[in-house]
Amino acid sequence: MSDWTSLWYVWLILLTVFLLLLCGVSASCIKFCCRKKRLPVETFPRHPCDLTVIGIDSDSTAHSTVT
């Protein structure tokens, strides 16, 4: 069997995976902290709107053209 300390490429791969994981966790924490401190900004002001609902029978021609 090979000695684990002589397999330098295994340690290199493990170090690379660890650094990528550490960078991902750090980026997530920074993103979470920045989002938490920032106040929500509305991009568009809300205006009241009207909604019209029209009932359509299944026998009408308008229903067949809509569907």
Choice between 34 and 4, residue whose per-residue pLDDT is larger: 34
Number of domains in the chain: 1
User: Is residue 10, in this structure, part of any structural domain at all?
Assistant: yes
User: Is residue 27, in this structure, part of any structural domain at all?
Assistant: yes
Q: What mean pLDDT, rounded, does the chain reach? A: 76
The gap from C-alpha 60 to its chain's centroid, in whole angstroms, comes to 43
pTM tops 0.75: no
User: Is residue 64, in this structure, part of any structural domain at all?
Assistant: no
User: Is residue 55, in this structure, part of any structural domain at all?
Assistant: no
Q: Using 50, 70 and 90 to split pLDDT, how confident is the model at 65?
A: low
User: Is residue 33, in this structure, part of any structural domain at all?
Assistant: yes
Q: Which two tokens stand for residue 2?
A: 């090979």
- In the chain, what are the helix, strand and coil shares in percent, each to the nearest 5? 60, 0, 40
User: Is residue 14, in this structure, part of any structural domain at all?
Assistant: yes
User: What integer is the mean pLDDT of 7-25?
Assistant: 93
Task: Supply angle C-alpha 13, 9, 7, rounded to 5.
Answer: 125
